[in-house]
Amino acid sequence: MKTSGDLKQFLRSVDGKGYPAYKGAKGEYRFPDYVLSVDHVQGDPFASPSRISIHVDGKRAGFPPASYDTDYKRTALSDHLLRQFGESLKPYEFQAKGSGKSGLLAVSRPGQEILERTGCKINKTDGSLILRLEVGFPANGRSIRSEELIKILFDFLPSCAAEICFYHSYSDGKKRQIEEVRKLAEDQQFLRSQLTELGLAAFVANGAILPRKSGISEEPMKKAVPFLSPSAMEVEISLPNKGRIKGMGIPKGITLIVGGGYHGKSTLLKALEKGVYNHISGDGREFVVTESSAVKLRAEDGRSVKKVDISAFINNLPDHRDTVRFSTEDASGSTSQAAGLVEAIESGAKVFLIDEDTSATNFMIRDRLMQQVVSRDREPITPFVERIRALYEQKGISTILVAGSSGAYFHPADRVIQMDAYVPVEITSFAKEAAEAYGEGIFPLPLPEINLSRVPLALETGGKEERSKTKVLGRDSFKIGHEVVDLRYVEQIADVEQVAALGFLLQYAGARLINRKKTLVQVVDELEHMVRTEGLDVLGEKGYLPVNLALPRRQEIFAAFNRCRSLTF
């Protein structure tokens, strides 16, 4: 392996030359305490930045094994170190001067959720550490300014690495932070395990701060009303480190959240949506946890649907279209929501999260007056309210539903929570009495067998002979080959790096896994197994990833496949 001295000598030899001469820097170099790898060199100072990585041996890094000996603790420690590394780089950003992106220093910028990322990777076996970052190699115009890059690689980065990568150099205060990260991860994991033990679909701790700072900020709102469980739904759980906490346990089954406008119904539901992820200390939702497979369902007009069995909800269409293998390039509100529900079952979801405001009304309910005017034999839609009980009793799928205008769901609900000025009140008995006085409820129907064995035939943008390119187009979509996959309404995606990972996962599946024999479930199973055993790095060519990735859930992988119009069944 080359040494740091070799790198410095090379950089000085190309000073003032044309920018392409930087390409010769690619490779690995032994520095005193770590290996620096130049993984990719940008084509010019205005192009996407170069990518480098710092590799630290586990013994040198020296973090306590108890802080990374399980997947969830390893993810939490990696997240913490990545955030700290980003902070340590800030004073050095653009201190190396030049044209275009010269002097840029950037790492992943995590939000409030704790996700497995390629930006920082810790080996669970030996504690070795990898940090990945983008660097704008300096130039004057398109002429190399190697002394400026030497500043970055030999002054700035070693200083940041010394501050973050070596536990023995930590102050007592920084060591306590590592310990607190471990304790929180253990408590969050234990709390998730208790959902199953206690028969809960979700838990919201007393004192949690659910409202967010603004529509564009996921930070907690200042002076927000702390959450307080209704006494009838309060559950006490003893955590390994924090000790006893109390909060609202939402049992499995059918839960209705009601209340006036602006009283916190959707705020509670949004907290439950993101409760499938762990959150950092200070977020306010550290102990808001939802069953990990929970899926937010909604209407999604205009999306494509491929061979989905929606016959349990939509059948006998006037144009005689097949709803057992239903396909369309322009779904309506009701067909898109029916398809989304069946696709969620296919993904293994055990909890549905639904907001009446983003649902198709005719998919959700048909009141008695409408049933009298339009007879059942003239209506192809079997509304969700008639299947909701069977979904739980036959499939074990719970539903948490926000309703503000229809009382139809009072009849099948197991419990009813009213949000009153952000304070939850349990009103099940009152709601049931009112529903009974109002009249006969909607008769629940059994759930017929649903075909969940779709076999993908081809993903046109993938192939064994030619590697297609993926490009992230923000939080809402990615491009694979020539197609844009629209994820605007996949509301539980927490980070743009998850979108990037979805692009790579689809490309990998199209090139290597889809073979006209495996079902979509089997394809996703293989993707998950591969990432679990080899990490997200396996998605790169020869270990190189052009962008940082964050691990999406199984449910979002299915959602991306289902919105890829070039995927055929």
Q: Which domain holds residue 478?
A: 458-568
Nearest alpha carbon to residue 211 among 266, 279, 280, 138? 266
Joined together, the tokens standing for residue 488 give 């605007």
In a domain, 432, yes or no: yes
Residue 388 sits at φ, ψ, to 5 deg, of -60, -40
Regarding whether 149 and 16 lie in a shared domain, the answer is yes
Rounded CA Rg of the chain: 26
Beta bridge partners of residue 459, listed in sequence order = 567
Joined together, the tokens standing for residue 151 give 């500043």
DSSP codes of every residue in 209-248 = --SEEETTEEEEPTTPPPP---GGGEEEEEETTTEEEEEE
In a domain, 260, yes or no: no
In a domain, 87, yes or no: yes
In a domain, 142, yes or no: yes
SS (H, E, C) 143-212: EECHHHHHHHHHHHHHHHHHHHCCHHHCCHHHHHHHHHHHHHHHHHHHHHHHHHHHCEEEEEECCCCCCE
Label residue 438 left, alpha or beta by phi (over 0 means left) and psi (-120 to 50 means alpha). alpha
CA distances from 517 to 456, 464, 569 (A): 8, 16, 11
What is the tally of structural domains in the chain?
3
CA distances from 201 to 190, 273, 398 (A): 15, 12, 7
Cα–Cα distance, 8 to 343 (Å, whole number): 55
Joined together, the tokens standing for residue 541 give 């060519």
Nearest alpha carbon to residue 459 among 425, 494, 503? 503
Three-state SS at 415: strand
Nearest alpha carbon to residue 54 among 100, 120, 144? 120
Burial of 512 (0-12, 13-18, 19+ CB in 10 A): middle
Cα–Cα distance, 180 to 174 (Å, whole number): 10
Beta bridge partners of residue 398, listed in sequence order = 351
Burial track 138-155 (b if 16+ CB lie within 10 A, e otherwise): bbeeebbbbebbbbbbbe
CB-CB neighbours of 461 under 10 Å: 23
CA distances from 3 to 37, 61, 66, 358, 430 (A): 11, 20, 33, 58, 75
Regarding whether 153 and 43 lie in a shared domain, the answer is yes
CB-CB neighbours of 396 under 10 Å: 10
Regarding whether 429 and 299 lie in a shared domain, the answer is yes
- Contacts (Cβ under 8 Å, ≥6 apart) of 243: none
Regarding whether 341 and 304 lie in a shared domain, the answer is yes
In a domain, 451, yes or no: no
Nearest alpha carbon to residue 110 among 398, 495, 389? 495
Regarding whether 536 and 414 lie in a shared domain, the answer is no
pLDDT in the model for residue 443: 82
Nearest alpha carbon to residue 139 among 130, 121, 152, 157? 152
Residue 376, CB-side half-sphere exposure with 13 Å CA sphere: 8
Nearest alpha carbon to residue 514 among 505, 440, 297? 505
Provide the Cα torsion 130, 133, 138, 141; round to 10°.
Answer: 140
Cα–Cα distance, 51 to 41 (Å, whole number): 7
In a domain, 205, yes or no: no
CA distances from 461 to 315, 349, 417, 455, 540 (A): 33, 28, 47, 17, 17
pLDDT in the model for residue 110: 96
- DSSP annotation of 541 reads B
Nearest alpha carbon to residue 192 among 255, 240, 229? 240
With contact defined as beta carbons under 8 Å apart, do 167 and 73 qualify?
no
Regarding whether 513 and 373 lie in a shared domain, the answer is no
Task: Tell the residue number behind the tokens 């009849």, with chain if given.
Answer: 411
| Strand spans (E) along 2-125 | 2-3, 27-30, 35-40, 50-56, 105-106, 113-114, 120-122
With contact defined as beta carbons under 8 Å apart, do 256 and 269 qualify?
no
Residue-wise pLDDT tens for the chain (569 aa)? 999 999 999 999 999 999 999 999 999 999 999 999 999 999 999 999 999 999 999 999 999 999 999 999 999 999 999 999 999 999 999 999 999 999 999 999 999 999 999 999 999 899 999 999 999 999 999 999 999 999 999 999 999 999 999 999 999 999 999 999 999 999 999 999 999 999 999 999 999 999 999 888 899 999 999 999 999 999 999 999 999 999 999 999 999 999 998 899 999 999 999 999 999 999 999 999 999 999 999 999 999 999 999 999 999 887 778 999 999 999 999 999 999 999 999 999 999 999 999 999 999 987 665 665 555 666 688 999 999 999 999 999 999 999 988 888 999 999 999 999 999 999 999 999 988 887 666 789 999 999 999 999 998 764 444 455 788 998 999 999 889 999 999 999 999 999 999 999 999 999 999 999 999 999 999 999 999 999 998 888 766 888 899 999 999 999 999 999 999 99
- Give residue 141's identity as a one-letter amino acid code: G
For CA atoms 394, 395, 398, 402, the dihedral sign is negative
Regarding whether 533 and 423 lie in a shared domain, the answer is no
Regarding whether 157 and 13 lie in a shared domain, the answer is yes
- DSSP annotation of 279 reads E
Regarding whether 54 and 165 lie in a shared domain, the answer is yes
With contact defined as beta carbons under 8 Å apart, do 301 and 333 qualify?
yes
In a domain, 254, yes or no: no
In a domain, 505, yes or no: yes
Residue after which a domain boundary falls, among 438, 469, 491: 438
Residue after which a domain boundary falls, among 148, 170, 192: 170
Regarding whether 151 and 56 lie in a shared domain, the answer is yes
Regarding whether 145 and 53 lie in a shared domain, the answer is yes
With contact defined as beta carbons under 8 Å apart, do 306 and 569 qualify?
yes
pLDDT in the model for residue 463: 47
Regarding whether 157 and 10 lie in a shared domain, the answer is yes
Cα–Cα distance, 229 to 234 (Å, whole number): 6
Residue after which a domain boundary falls, among 147, 170, 193: 170
